[in-house]
């Protein structure tokens, strides 16, 4: 799941990060920042392929 918080206010952003961190923890997964205020949340059994990372980068959702 990609969570884009670029237009969220500070309080909403804090709450969403807390929530998503909890989701990632519950799924034994991870949450990584992929761009300014954009996060990728994945469960432990999901690996994002190089091709998918390239597509996300082309769409501006992943920094090189």
User: DSSP code of 36?
Assistant: T
Average pLDDT in the 36-57 region? Answer: 88
For 11-35, what is each residue's pLDDT tens digit?
999 999 999 999 999 989 999 998 8
Range of the domain at 25: 2-58
What's the per-residue H, E or C state across 24-55?
Answer: HHHCCCEEEEEECCEEEEECCCCCCCHHHHHH
For the domain that residue 14 is a member of, what is the CATH number?
Answer: 3.30.110.150
More confident residue, 50 or 63: 50
Nearest to 52 by CA among 43, 40, 44: 40
Whether 63 is covered by a domain: the verdict is no
* Domain-located, residue 64: no
**Is residue 58's pLDDT more than 90?**
no
What percent of the chain is modeled with pLDDT above 70? 98
Which is higher by pLDDT, 41 or 48? 41
d(CA 54, CA 57): 5
């Amino acid at each position: 799941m990609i969570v884009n918080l670029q237009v969220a206010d500070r309080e909403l952003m804090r709450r969403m990060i807390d929530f998503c961190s909890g989701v990632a923890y519950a799924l034994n997964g991870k949450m990584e920042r992929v761009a300014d205020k954009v996060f990728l949340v994945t469960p432990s059994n999901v690996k994002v392929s190089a091709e998918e990372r390239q597509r996300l980068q082309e769409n501006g959702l992943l920094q090189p």
